[in-house]
Amino acid sequence: MFKNRTTFEKLLSFLQGSSWAFAIAGGAYAFLLFSPFGFLIALLISFFLFLTGFFFVVIFEMAQIQIEKLEELKKQTKLLEKIVQKDDKKISDY
């Protein structure tokens, strides 16, 4: 679970957390800011502001998944190379 993370992964995690904060706090602030203009207007504007923040959450989450996928592929490649080196026998060797 806790592994050595690169600076880029730490930055990505920070940006994802700040995007969540922007989405939630921005939506709430927009609702309170536009509530004098009516409930429906305030709800729509806060929803669109929440979607803006949530868009960045999704983008950073996709980047994190791609990094994890790359690490897993590297592990699988190492294992497959070990198997190929170990199993260099051909059918004619039997």
Q: How would you classify residue 38: left for phi > 0, otherwise alpha for psi between -120 and 50, otherwise beta?
A: left
The number of domains in the chain is 1
Mutual angle of helices 39-86 and 7-34, in 10-degree steps: 170
| Each residue's pLDDT tens digit, 43-75 | 999 999 999 999 999 999 999 999 999 999 999
Residue 81 lies in a domain: yes
pLDDT at residue 11 is higher than 70: yes
Residue 2 lies in a domain: no
Residue type (1 letter), 89: K
- The whole-model pTM stands at 0.74
Residue 31 lies in a domain: yes
Return the pLDDT at 81: 85
Range of the domain at 79: 7-85
Compute the average pLDDT of residues 28-42: 94
